[in-house]
A and B are shown apart, each in its own frame.
Chain A
């Protein structure tokens, strides 16, 4: 399936990441957005609210983020591609509906333009402190997919990736932007619509009476319906059986929760997007993601010119965590540095997977500014020596 040529703003643009994200969502086929103003994400919904009336979309500014995060799920069950957009405090309010999207298997995109926290924190300044929240923020066991862009171009490209993941895996998908990438102006190439590949929702072909909304007929995903198809489905946030009816016992819980997790975890290889270079035989490999990976990329270029053997890994998908990738890195380098704009979140995942095979170091930052180039270079030199 290709994007709708009447809606895609094909061409070269000089726009910021937030605007690019809005355009990406439009290109992805998103036609319903519910949101609530919050710095530094607001420009995404401003862009959407300008564009939607001209392309047959609907933006509604809800009374709060709690409402936004479930309103768009109503539109999804109606048959739309839909999303919500927010930042730290708003994302915290949305967490219950991340869980709802997980348990009802509602294809959902949550855009988080990260800012410094906790609480109101740093509304106008960046951070990467919501990485673990994206993974663990709602209660209970479930899995999400999270994607971190590092440029305005990627804000366009990868919000489409998020919509495609949401449709394919029927789970909450986080688009983990941050204040800097959201407000960074850059050249964004929006391709012709026929070059944009979209994953369309597949509705069941089984007739009412035969169809069960949470039964696995083929593959790992239940078959979806939208309302009004005649299947008269029931969807609940309670633990449920294949009919979608509440089932309050450990057996139903075990079956449902394990499937919610395995339908993601069994496909890490297909989901994972990462870039790595010169890891093999390196003295140190630096792992980073999102906007931080751009500073890291420059730092690594500089120290390589000075003759250091430094590997580089950039995670584009943060969740599910690509354990195999990091295990391979640990086999091929002498030490690992994780650089992130928080006091150490993804480093725990790396340490867990590396399991002491090589030393793991952290370059941390409490948020509010980009990591300093010199700090990264110094750390690389210190660890490599």
Chain B
């Protein structure tokens, strides 16, 4: 064994696929650093970790992590992960995708997986835009921000993602920016250990499209903004954490619950009604 030190993130990466496709100054890779450390801290063995992504820049995470991983269709990572999670109760299933993928085309699946309390962790990298397709408006693009399909500035109302996840019953809800690498790592660790549906919004820069089009500078300037204008408010009412263009950002761990998961609810009900006639679903075990 060589004593040459190894980057701790490498343990989770498919190194033969590096360098990745993300632009310089993109925040997705930073979130992956935190994720790799969280997986180690949560002591999840890699054979029992499955990462599912949808489509888009963040959707490529599944292809870079060296675990059984699935790069599915646009918006549909969560329902795929639902089938996988229910059928591998001994594994941890993580959905890693972007704001457009998870909250626009996949919004219906997000709210229902949270409502059902399916055992999975959803990591939503929110860069306020569709990066892969060239910087179009998403449900999280702030009012007045420019996108390629809102050249005169966005005029729609936006989603407050922690509030959405909270309202739908998520068991753990947190928001951090990629400036908050230590806190993000801790929250990811917590999410991975949460029984049921956990949701983390990770605010991250897209320097190539969102930053540039809105004259916000490069990735470093984005992280500087996150540093200067974020306030940590653990336990904040998620109704109060909405974002607007270059506004203050409330970050922290907002919600912790301990409700029955989908599977627990199913088994409880069936045992009550069917008694010994009930044969629990063991998935592929």
For B47, the chain A residues whose CB sits under 8 A away are 228-230, 232
Choose among B81, B83, B274 the residue that contacts A32 (Cβ–Cβ < 8 A): B83
Closest to B278 in A: A53
**B234 at interface, CB cutoff 8 A:** no
Identify which of A77, A96, A226 gathers the most chain B CB atoms within 10 Å of its CB: A77
For A205, the chain B residues whose CB sits under 8 A away are none
State whether A58 touches B72 (Cβ < 8 A): no
Closest to B277 in A: A54
**A186 at interface, CB cutoff 8 A:** no
For B84, the chain A residues whose CB sits under 8 A away are 74-75, 77-78, 227
**A334 at interface, CB cutoff 8 A:** no
Among A60-68, A113-121, A257-265, A362-370, the one that faces the other chain is: A60-68
Closest to A63 in B: B112
Contact with B along A64-85 (1 / 0, CB 8 A): 1011101111111111101000
Choose among B62, B63, B71, B76 the residue that contacts A97 (Cβ–Cβ < 8 A): B76
State whether A232 touches B278 (Cβ < 8 A): no
State whether B81 touches A74 (Cβ < 8 A): yes
**A100 at interface, CB cutoff 8 A:** yes
State whether A71 touches B112 (Cβ < 8 A): no
**A274 at interface, CB cutoff 8 A:** no
Chain A min CB distance to B78 (Å) = 8
**A140 at interface, CB cutoff 8 A:** no
Closest to B60 in A: A246
Which B residues, 227 to 285, have Cβ-Cβ distances below 8 Å to chain A? 266, 270, 274, 277-284
Closest to A7 in B: B279
A32 to B55, CA, bound (A): 25
State whether A80 touches B82 (Cβ < 8 A): no
Contact with B along A234-258 (1 / 0, CB 8 A): 1111100000011000000000000
Among B86-94, B154-162, B176-184, B209-217, the one that faces the other chain is: B86-94
State whether B88 touches A227 (Cβ < 8 A): yes
A53 to B269, CA, bound (A): 10
For B109, the chain A residues whose CB sits under 8 A away are 63, 67
State whether B76 touches A70 (Cβ < 8 A): yes
**B40 at interface, CB cutoff 8 A:** no
State whether A71 touches B274 (Cβ < 8 A): no
Which A residues, 82 to 112, have Cβ-Cβ distances below 8 Å to chain B? 82, 96-97, 100
**A57 at interface, CB cutoff 8 A:** yes
State whether B108 touches A60 (Cβ < 8 A): no
A52 to B267, CA, bound (A): 12
Summarize A's interface: helix, strand, loop or mixed. mixed
**A231 at interface, CB cutoff 8 A:** yes
State whether A100 touches B68 (Cβ < 8 A): no
Contact with A along B171-204 (1 / 0, CB 8 A): 0000000000000000000000000000000000
For A70, the chain B residues whose CB sits under 8 A away are 72-73, 76, 79-80, 83
Beyond A55-B279, A56-B279, A230-B47, whether A78 also contacts B63 by CB under 8 A is no
Beyond A70-B80, A234-B71, whether A56 also contacts B282 by CB under 8 A is yes
State whether A228 touches B88 (Cβ < 8 A): yes
Which B residues, 89 to 110, have Cβ-Cβ distances below 8 Å to chain A? 90-91, 108-109
A61 to B82, CA, bound (A): 11
Closest to B53 in A: A236
**B46 at interface, CB cutoff 8 A:** yes
Identify which of A56, A97, A228, A237 gathers the most chain B CB atoms within 10 Å of its CB: A228
State whether A71 touches B79 (Cβ < 8 A): yes
State whether B278 touches A97 (Cβ < 8 A): no
**A316 at interface, CB cutoff 8 A:** no
Choose among A53, A73, A229 the residue that contacts B83 (Cβ–Cβ < 8 A): A73
Which A residues, 257 to 297, have Cβ-Cβ distances below 8 Å to chain B? none
**A31 at interface, CB cutoff 8 A:** yes
For B282, the chain A residues whose CB sits under 8 A away are 56
**A127 at interface, CB cutoff 8 A:** no
Contact with A along B28-50 (1 / 0, CB 8 A): 00000000000000000011101
**B69 at interface, CB cutoff 8 A:** yes
State whether A97 touches B73 (Cβ < 8 A): yes
Which B residues, 1 to 55, have Cβ-Cβ distances below 8 Å to chain A? 14, 17, 46-48, 50, 52, 55
State whether B73 touches A32 (Cβ < 8 A): no
State whether A78 touches B71 (Cβ < 8 A): no
State whether B278 touches A54 (Cβ < 8 A): yes
Q: A67-B76, A74-B87 are in contact. List 5 more A-B contacts (CB 8 A).
A: A67-B109, A67-B112, A79-B284, A80-B284, A232-B68
Q: Which 6 A-B pairs have the closest CB atoms?
A: A74-B83, A79-B284, A78-B87, A74-B84, A67-B79, A236-B71
